Structure 1
């Protein structure tokens, strides 16, 4: 799942989405195009690895349903993994055949993350011990706080994907944290980039507050504290990698690390949301 997420980021960062023209599922009418350019190789590789992943996710979902037919969360996660990987695949195909808006393209990464998190949680639940279940008992108020935090993270992910698909990564210029672009126009690259920065700062503060609250009031909940501790670490690394994208003038490897860390953060908060949800 992580490999496909990274390959998708490479497709976007290298502008290889049109590497096969508007031909799908074949590439220029061929299974393996002859004398392909670099962007064609990148696009074809992403398609075939994604197709193989889709098959694996379907097998995993069926296996999970048969192995744990009585656990509701397993059924939900298995269905979610299949639904969202199929949906993001169809969106990818639609983007190739018909041109899509930046808003629709941004949702492609978000759906991939949901499928990734579903597979990750299925993997964790498969190793769960009956005498030591992944459960955290917290107040209803703090539980709602964590649910809203998770929902807000998804919105921040969407703003980040929008930055990528609108070409706004350098919308505030080559400096950080200042923004030298024109932000008066809400549709400008500078305004889109600045919106993502502000949303990310709020996310950082929210996660650190939640970690502090859990350490203060729920010390005995080890899984909860460990999850929020890792979430705080990942959100800090995410902010640093975001700044480095600007300062390095869109270095490809820095940009890929940005996408990788957000996957870790999303998976971690997915786990936190799961353990406070379970009885």
Structure 2
């Protein structure tokens, strides 16, 4: 099914409206930096360093300057500092976009969404600390807030990726200049992938709070009525991973032939490689009882897969009116020559 936006394309929606290379590079740089911040945040959780600054926020143990900090304090403080830089980067990106792009440019919407989600990210992080839902806290409230925090993180990463993506488009970056192809299927697939990530974050939280002695003990805990509910829901993560994987394979197969969209084919191949690597890391993570380094690697690849998936899904489902990406939407091999 193909639907078109009802808003007419403004006269400024031409290829000459494409933002500068500096802005495009900065946008993708902000995406990359946020991935590193997210992975470091997982290190805070996996090492039990969430209480490294006590129950103070944004100050660390009530101080601006650290005095003889321990390892946990350094880990937590580094995450807070890097998160603060991320907020400043998103503010700078949004300001730059609104100063240099036309009024109906899609990047404006996504950059504002990114800014709001960044502020919400800070709020959720602060609540985790102020409510004491960190370190070895095993309450149900921690799992709820942690799930909300991770959901917000994934949505933030998606909006940042879409901001950079629409800044990089040659056409189809203005409101009213695109049409939608199979948007419902793409939306369901993205939601399934998001749900997989959220359940994975809860599984990782369970691994941190209730470390197992060996693999068979871990499997037994998943089905024991005496185990924490966090352990008894761990099976949902791999189950959803296979459901989401079916959508990813559909998207990959749809774009592998290439045709007039060689850029989509390249992204599909990258997504296929990341999907295979992610499944491998997932199985290895279970077999080795979730060591910290492997949890971080698993999350890092998950973030790369999510970014690639969001961009490829949008390139496939939101296209310039009357165009194919290989001829007028993106730089193709022929255009580059």
SS in 1 for 2:66: coil
- Aligned equivalent of 1:188, options 229, 237, 243: 229
- Aligned equivalent of 2:108, options 75, 78, 93: 75
Change (3 A) 1:171 1:34: closer
Which string of whole-angstrom CA distances, capped at 9 and with x for unpartnered residues, describes residues 122-142 of structure 1? 233333335999xxx9984x4
Determine if contact 1:91/1:108 at 8 Å carries over to the other structure.
Answer: yes
- Aligned equivalent of 2:84, options 45, 51, 54: 51
Tell me, in whole angstroms, the C-alpha distance in 1 between the residues paired with 2:60 and 2:101.
40
Q: Report what 2:245 is aligned to.
A: 204
TM-score using structure 1 length:
0.86
| 2:72 is the alignment partner of 1:39 | yes
User: Which deviates more from structure 2 when the two are superposed, residues 185-194 or residues 205-214?
Assistant: 185-194
SS in 1 for 2:289: coil
| 2:231 is the alignment partner of 1:231 | no
Determine if contact 1:92/1:108 at 8 Å carries over to the other structure.
Answer: yes
Change (3 A) 1:106 1:139: closer
Q: State which structure, 1 or 2, has the greater radius of gyration over its C-alpha atoms.
A: 2
Which string of whole-angstrom CA distances, capped at 9 and with x for unpartnered residues, describes residues 203-241 of structure 1? 22331133223446x743333333333222222211111
User: Which deviates more from structure 2 when the two are superposed, residues 235-244 or residues 67-76?
Assistant: 67-76
Q: Report what 1:120 is aligned to.
A: 161
Q: Report what 1:21 is aligned to.
A: 54
Determine if contact 2:154/2:194 at 8 Å carries over to the other structure.
Answer: no
Determine if contact 2:204/2:295 at 8 Å carries over to the other structure.
Answer: no
Tell me, in whole angstroms, the C-alpha distance in 2 between the residues paired with 1:213 and 1:127.
22
Which string of whole-angstrom CA distances, capped at 9 and with x for unpartnered residues, describes residues 106-162 of structure 1? 2212212222232233233333335999xxx9984x432222111111111111111
Which string of whole-angstrom CA distances, capped at 9 and with x for unpartnered residues, describes residues 34-77 of structure 1? 11111110001110111111011111011112222334421221
Long gaps (5+) in structure 2: 1-33, 134-140, 321-337
| 2:129 is the alignment partner of 1:96 | yes
SS in 2 for 1:193: coil
Q: What number of residue pairs does the alignment pair up? A: 273
Determine if contact 1:169/1:246 at 8 Å carries over to the other structure.
Answer: no
Indicate the structure whose relative CO is greater, using CA pairs within 8 Å and at least 6 residues apart.
2
Q: Report what 2:300 is aligned to.
A: 260
Determine if contact 1:65/1:78 at 8 Å carries over to the other structure.
Answer: no
Determine if contact 1:171/1:193 at 8 Å carries over to the other structure.
Answer: no
Two-structure CA RMSD over aligned residues (Å): 2.9
Tell me, in whole angstroms, the C-alpha distance in 1 between the residues paired with 2:173 and 2:97.
20
Determine if contact 2:105/2:173 at 8 Å carries over to the other structure.
Answer: no
Change (3 A) 1:15 1:146: same
TM-score using structure 2 length:
0.72
Tell me, in whole angstroms, the C-alpha distance in 2 between the residues paired with 1:11 and 1:98.
17
Shift of 1:273: 3.0
Long gaps (5+) in structure 1: none
